[in-house]
Structure 1
Amino acid sequence: MLRYLENHLNEDGGVGLHIEGHSTMFGTVLTYVAMRLLGKAADSPECAKTRKWIIDRGGATQVPSWGKFWLAVLGVYEWHGLNPIPPECWLLPYWLPMHPGRFWCHCRMVYLPMSYLYGIRATGKPTALTAALKSELYAEASYDSINWNTARNACAKEDLYYPHPWIQDVVWSTLMKVEPFLMNSRVRKAACEDAMRQIHYEDENTRYVDIGPVSKVFNMLSCWFEDPDSEAVKKHIPRIADYLWVAEDGMKMQGYNGSQLWDCAFSVQAIVATGLADEYGECLRRAHDYIEKSQVRDDCPDVEKWYRHISKGAWPFSTRDHGWPISDCSSEGLKAALTLASMDEKLVGEAIPVDRLADCVNVILSYQNRGSGGWATYENTRSTKWVELLNPAETFGDIMIDYPYVECSSASLQALCKFSERYPDIRAKDIAHAKKTGRKFLKSIQRADGSWYGSWAVCFTYGTWFGVLGLIATGSTYETCPSLRKAVEFLLSKQQENGGWSESYLSCEKKAYHELRDKDGKPKPHLVNTGWAMLALIASGQQNRDATPLHRAARCMLSQQYENGDFPQQSIMGVFNANCMISYSCYRSIFTLWALGEYCNKVL
């Protein structure tokens, strides 16, 4: 763990929100505290340089709200220096647009245990180390001299991606006045009990993996503060390992418990696209087995009571134990299952029964939003966009509700169309309606330049790949669809002289196309962006109009292949909430192989 933290210190001594990002107070403060907790001395070169970065920028009072919360739980920040996170919000009537049950699931499942921990003022016991941290982290003359009321809304400029609107200042100030009356009240006790019931429900229905790493740790802490000797704590501890990953740079905590199903479903489609499936039967058989075993087989109990969506038949992002299905993961899982079902069972194994595939279709159809016609991620969009005004996390954007996305919508449309081709009599009317309204949604969110913004990877090449495939699945051709022609024109306009495509993560942050460049400022091709662009262009029939861009792209890809057949790991390609990047190490192989396979079979 120490090796990982030290390897990702920036030259200025700070640490970014992600491994390629500029230094932030959030990343730097938490890294400094982690190094100290792991035994690093305060006067070590790494800690000294990191602490100087923190102090030079105003000290740890400038850390965003999530950082303040972690420090408060550790006992090195005062709770009245945080904006309130009242658990009483869960007692509000559900019809209110700002009820937490209407929030995006990742948002509510983080703030649920945070509200419990805040409600009971959960604080670790003081130690010599926490006393030392109080003197090391702050720029003020002493810990006791800190103005905690001023610190509540302080945030370093390096971290401020989503500034608080004025309405939040009113809300937090009001809640600060109410909080003394709630603390230790019967209402607070009831709210904390309700929060813990929901925490236990989440733990039990995810086999103590929980939806993500932040909520996992917060849930575990909540169980520990409720009863350190409880069975819940004992069940939590072994599943910490689900999130840990060791690589050349050290041990890190993943942003999820893996991307197993997601990568597996894409890999199946990539291998089959090469036309070499007969040579990799054992690989496909094992992949088929994993897809079959990872399908969610039942709904969670009392889904409405616990603010969950139906899940029977759907697929998760990672593992069946995790169990939170997602619209695009369900769709890619279904597409892979249908692809394998069309192949020889002697090669790839027995097909998943049609009734189970129909269960998945049922979930995908249920995900579609009636108003927009688009698909969000884990659930329907449950509230209105103005709720985003209450986003308390200065570091992340668009976290409050589950928005519809081009990736989720396109994947869902592709899966439904593929299913109806094989089973035309099952849910035919519902699928036809979903195709019509989903297609309309895709067109409505296409940008004027022909692109789509990708919210889950970097960025416009990714979004446009999905947009193109969604239009084609629902009947578009290059000749008949202006939206498809605009998308093709956009992609061709971004091809570099070297034949490739590339985008920086800044495309996600700035929501405008930013080309990836090398240290000399020259365009630098990226295998994954190039793969997405090639797949979209080939699907649109570019080879029938002018194959030259595809030949150039293929040469660009092949020129980067290693002698052992592998391809280089390049800059980061995953993203969530516009501002935080994550690594998908398999993408360099999956999408390069997929694009070259399509190229060999459809272009050459």
Structure 2
Amino acid sequence: MWRLKLSQGDNYEYDDPFLTSFNNNVGRQFWEFDPIPGTPEEQALVEKARADFTKTRHQIKQSSDLLMRIQLAKETYCGQPDLARVAKVENEEEITEETVVNTLKRALRFYSALQSEDGHWPGDYGGPLFFLPELIIGLYVMDMLETILPNEHKREICRYIYNHQNVDGGWGLHIEGSSSMFCTTLNYIGLRILGQEIDGGDGAMHKARSWILHHGGATYTPSWGKFWLSILGVYEWDGNNPLPPEIWLLPYFLPVHPGRMWCHTRMVYLPMSYLYGKRFVGPINDIVLSLREELYNQDYNHIDWNLARNQ
């Protein structure tokens, strides 16, 4: 069963030499899988929350941190008396002091239940749908996937990706976005790397692949997607527009120096330019060779990579 750990770090069960903090890890949030299951009541609540979200995922795309709320509510409400039921005031009905006080108490109790012990209100950083598959690809080409992501983590990642798949089979730039080639290609690849079959996910994988092929194939992925596909080995570096690392050698006083770019731009361009200069490609194995066949409408060896640069 998954547990949310808050503001815990070096002193929590083990010492992590790579984890440092200047504020004793205040505000840190991470989920940890506990092999010991919770009570039957807890398990039932979690399974109901999962089922309800999956059922309405195309109408309500934000999870509302339901699993976190279940956990925090148990920790906060344990042993406390129940409050009076919600008071509904009809039009022109007199509002009593008791009704106001009860409503305020319910509101305070609700927000207090969502507050962690150190004082902050934790919350999911949800939305973008391209970070997670990029992490999967990065771990995969470094042969670190099995080390960093145990089976339970893989299962939850697959659940998350499937839950945010659009009705048409694709994925948007964010959880409420319309399907795009960028995120559809990356998430399809991420699921395949995690062990999902071409026809897996009760037809979800087939729908995703059909969306990619019906929209021209993975050569229509934008530049950032082409970059990640090249690292994996399912797209050739010749199909990328140049990302020259030599530009970092320009004098800093020039306005075009990457160091003068917006922080997120330059921090992304730095590793991208290095990997482009190295023409880095991960190991070519069966899954990579299979993806080369799955993502395109033509034979991989006959693709015009120069033409694909600006598709």
TM-score under structure 1 length normalisation: 0.25
More helix by percentage: 1
TM-score under structure 2 length normalisation: 0.49
